[in-house]
Amino acid sequence: MFTRTSPVRIAGAALAGALLATGTGTAALASPAPAHRQVARHIPYTAATVAQNADGTVTLTWNAPGVRHVTVFAGTAQDRISHERPVATASGKATVTVRNLGTADRWWFELVPDRGRPLTLADRSLHLASAPNFRDAGGYRTSDGRWVRMGVLYRSGDLGKLTDADVAKLKRLGVRTVYDLRTPAEQAASPDRLPAGARSVTANVSGTAGTDVSITSPEAAARMMVDGEKAMVSSASGRAAYGSLLAAAADPRSANLVYHCTAGKDRTGWASAAILTALGVPRATVRQDYLASNTYRAAENAAVLAQLPPAQAAIYKPLLEVRPEYLDAGFDEVAARYGSFDRYLREGLGVSGAALRRQLLIG
């Protein structure tokens, strides 16, 4: 029984996801392309999202400055978009809701502008009840106007609770490589359920650091999370794990790839932050993606806290959440140890940002 003065005791693999410290070249052109050809190659969207609603409808929002008309086509895969009949048409800045799509593992939408290149997106969430934080790592715009490909790289929490239907869905979606960022103890406590033929790779971020600690205040819990974020950047185990993962993400032979930890928010969160930053996604967008775990995990977190006395829930809450200061601690550690993110990639992780961009960017 918890008392107001007793510390919160966090032990074992079941909660280790909250304990971080403890845990082709392009050919040169002889002359510039005509202006109209440059426009044709450019993806004009500065923002675009797809969100599946509870009633089965899908809401699309976009902004494409200079575009007067956008036609939307849909399909059940990126390479199976039907162009027989559009599902929506609107102006260059619009929000539309598409209805009566029918059943599919995942609906994809091609946004075709009257000038410039089309953009194909899907809802980022895979809507797996057994893994609510399973989502596409792509679909974000970079600072130079390119977009991170969707459907090739996914992030998630524990895959040990996947249902048979969820495993079958991942098989149909082509998942063939899974990077497990957890410790051996976590893996033993909740072994991954993988699609048949998928390759599993262990990339233990936390190494041999312990996960049995006592915390006596919310402030101490938050400090532990900050220290954990720094350790993911600086520790030998963290550098080896993330170096291996980012090298695989840059290798087309590894797609489609899933990387995950226990909650899909801390070790997985830094993985996504590192990949998106390497691709040139703005820091504000990287932070948005990181903090989205609070939304995807809201029901799970609330259920855990509801089982605790208020004083203990207050101490435990920082461990369940992601906060801006946690992510900032990781970037601060990169700056302190390497001076720049490019040097972190090269010297800390031994990977090429250019290789990642070739594999994961469009536009």
CA 71/CA 74 separation, integer angstroms? 10
DSSP 347: I
Say which amino acid occupies 240.
Answer: A
Which one of 249, 261, 276, 334 is the catalytic residue? 261
Q: 59 by DSSP, 3-state: which? A: strand
H or E element at residue 274: helix 267-279
Helices 310-320, 218-234: crossing angle, 10 deg rounding: 20
CA 182/CA 17 separation, integer angstroms? 8
- Known catalytic residue at 261: yes
284-292: long-range contacts at Cβ-Cβ below 8 A with a sequence spacing of 24 or more? 285/140, 285/141, 286/327, 287/324, 287/327, 289/137, 289/140, 290/322, 290/327, 291/322, 291/323, 291/324, 291/327, 292/135
CA 283/CA 287 separation, integer angstroms? 6
Identify whether the C-beta of residue 315 lies closer than 8 Å to the C-beta of residue 218.
yes
Active centre residues (catalytic): 261
